[in-house]
Structure 1
Amino acid sequence: MATNLVRRTTKILVLNPNSSKSMTHGLEQGIRTMELSQSTEVHTYTAPGQSPGSINNGNDIFKSSTVVHMNLEETGLLKQYDAVLVACFSEHPLVPMLAEKEGEFGGLAVTGIFESSILACLSFLRQGSKWGIVTTGKYWEDHLTRGVNNFLGTQRDHPNTKFAGVETTGLNAGDFHGGVDPEIVRRKLKEATGRLLEKGDVQCVVMGCAGMAGLEEIIRSVAVEKYGPAKAKELLVVDGVRAGIGLLEQMVRNKRAFQRTP
């Protein structure tokens, strides 16, 4: 007797390109609180042990992309999924590398938490307001500023007027998961957020590290101090993982709706 497929599940893989299982666990906690379609499944992946435990500079980015790409090639894991989210807040090479394999995996939708955070902020901004990024170490100031310009097609000497810039805490990704005293994390995150909010009418603050998931209230507390309670309620704190999953859900639906069928 023949059967017919009447409902198709969307399977999303959230890919942590570093080898920290505790960071993946932190991502999972945030994902569990999301309101998603009942037909959407979200799975997580932690990079093999050869990948850095924390991605803090260009060498770590390169190493993680090499290790993960090789592992995905060897396992064929992506054949099981409709979409993949690269959960490293950077211009991570895995995003274009995996996007090039779209045809190989039957229309795989690919984005990163960096790219999806930018798109989320741009969709929220009112006239005259800005968005900015709070992240980890000094390295990321130039890397992320350049990445924003590349993504938006702007130049450093002609910057996007909606972008308030990047402020750093001086920490690394692992510090947000037990690497240092939580009070130090709180203080440094508040200081970086304060510097960003002083740059004008900042409506959106992006948490520029997957390890920051769950720290939104620290950022909001600074907005209360800088802007007052009423205006602080309008501040949007963007978690790139949540933004990315929401975007991928829509990307998968749009691909199915708009791609030419055989």
Structure 2
Amino acid sequence: MATNFIRRTTKILVLNPNSSKSMTHGLEQGIREMELSQSTEVHTYTAPDESPASINDGNDVHNSARIVTQNLDEIGLLKHYDAVLVACFSVHPLVGMLADRDGEFGKLAVTGIFEASILTCLSLLRPGKKWGIVTTGKFWEQHLSEGLDSFLGIQSNVSSTKFVGVETTGLNAGDFHGGVDPEVVQEKLVEATTRLLKKGDVECVVMGCAGMAGLEEIIRSVAVDEYGPEKAHELLVIDGVRGGIGLLEQMVRSKRAFRKP
């Protein structure tokens, strides 16, 4: 009896909504180091040149969403993919906009690195342990805190027993890819991480910028100073791009399993 080998490939698009090609290259380096299913393909996209080179505030967020949406519609790219990861650590409108249009592209799974990082942390935290975010500029403290409440359906006047908050470096996303001296980047990241860990029992630190990929060891070195080597060894440092790709793999399988054909 003859048999045929059939392999169904999952194609994921990692979408950088800013126009920095160097940031996309940084994302690609981290993705290459991931352990992925052999049936998963990952492709990257960089926003057109008219999109902000670094997304630093609300105007940049919304301008990038407008420009990328127009470009994606013009080139018809999404019809070739099963999932999209919006690689901007913000409450980015593209996540909802693309998710609402999944019927146009088949069963399209969509998430952002912000949302994926939250779900990754909550799945990994041990009872009684806490998590927080280290990110770039002051704008993101309120933006991300309010975004977390909205994503989890928490009223703003209700405090979380797990989330210790957002600490900022004062840098912008482009600074992590050659914008400033690497020693300055390290100094600012150490300072922000120290403030976060001093809040106590932090088991999970989220790198709140796609440009931070590859800087995990700086965060771990702070944990050694604050918590000691044994406890620091247990620290989880979350890269939202890696977490998002893993989550999307599962989302694609779940859509295929639980949604009506």
Q: TM-score range by the shorter chain?
A: over 0.9
Measure, in 1, the Cα distance between the counterparts of 2:206 and 2:165: 11
Measure, in 2, the Cα distance between the counterparts of 1:100 and 1:252: 16
Contact 1:149/1:159 (<8 A) preserved: no
What's 1:84 paired with?
84
What's 2:9 paired with?
9
Measure, in 1, the Cα distance between the counterparts of 2:155 and 2:143: 13
Deviations, residues 183-219 of structure 1 (Å, cap 9, x unaligned): 0000000000000001110000000000000000000
SS in 2 for 1:11: strand
Once the two structures are TM-superposed, the CA of residue 8 in structure 1 deviates from its matched residue by 0.8
When residues 4 and 72 of structure 1 are mapped into structure 2, their CA distance, relative to the original with a 3 A threshold, is farther
Measure, in 1, the Cα distance between the counterparts of 2:5 and 2:110: 25
Q: Which AA in structure 1 matches 2:170?
A: G
Measure, in 2, the Cα distance between the counterparts of 1:125 and 1:109: 25
Deviations, residues 46-74 of structure 1 (Å, cap 9, x unaligned): 00001000000000001000000000111
SS in 2 for 1:143: helix
What's 2:101 paired with?
101
Measure, in 1, the Cα distance between the counterparts of 2:4 and 2:163: 49
Q: Which AA in structure 2 matches 1:46?
A: T
Once the two structures are TM-superposed, the CA of residue 257 in structure 1 deviates from its matched residue by 1.3
Gap runs ≥5 in structure 1: none
SS in 2 for 1:52: coil
Once the two structures are TM-superposed, the CA of residue 259 in structure 1 deviates from its matched residue by 1.4
Measure, in 2, the Cα distance between the counterparts of 1:5 and 1:115: 36
How many aligned positions are there?
Answer: 259
When the two structures are superposed, what TM-score results if normalisation uses the length of structure 2?
0.98
Please give the root-mean-square deviation of Cα atoms over the aligned residues, in Å: 1.1
Measure, in 1, the Cα distance between the counterparts of 2:76 and 2:159: 41
Gap runs ≥5 in structure 2: none
SS in 2 for 1:44: strand
What's 1:175 paired with?
175
What's 1:185 paired with?
185
SS in 2 for 1:103: helix
Which structure 2 residues correspond to residues 1-262 of structure 1 after superposition, within 5 A? 6-261=6-261
Measure, in 1, the Cα distance between the counterparts of 2:8 and 2:226: 47
Instruction: Give the stretch that moved more between structures: 24-33 or 123-132.
Output: 123-132
Measure, in 2, the Cα distance between the counterparts of 1:169 and 1:21: 23
Measure, in 1, the Cα distance between the counterparts of 2:148 and 2:213: 21
Q: Which AA in structure 2 matches 1:99?
A: A
Once the two structures are TM-superposed, the CA of residue 4 in structure 1 deviates from its matched residue by 7.2
Q: Percent identity?
A: 77
Measure, in 2, the Cα distance between the counterparts of 1:96 and 1:160: 25
Deviations, residues 154-202 of structure 1 (Å, cap 9, x unaligned): 1232122110100000000000000000000000000000000011100
Deviations, residues 115-148 of structure 1 (Å, cap 9, x unaligned): 0000000001111110000000000000000001
Measure, in 2, the Cα distance between the counterparts of 1:217 and 1:229: 13
Measure, in 1, the Cα distance between the counterparts of 2:149 and 2:199: 18
SS in 1 for 2:103: coil
Contact 1:205/1:236 (<8 A) preserved: yes
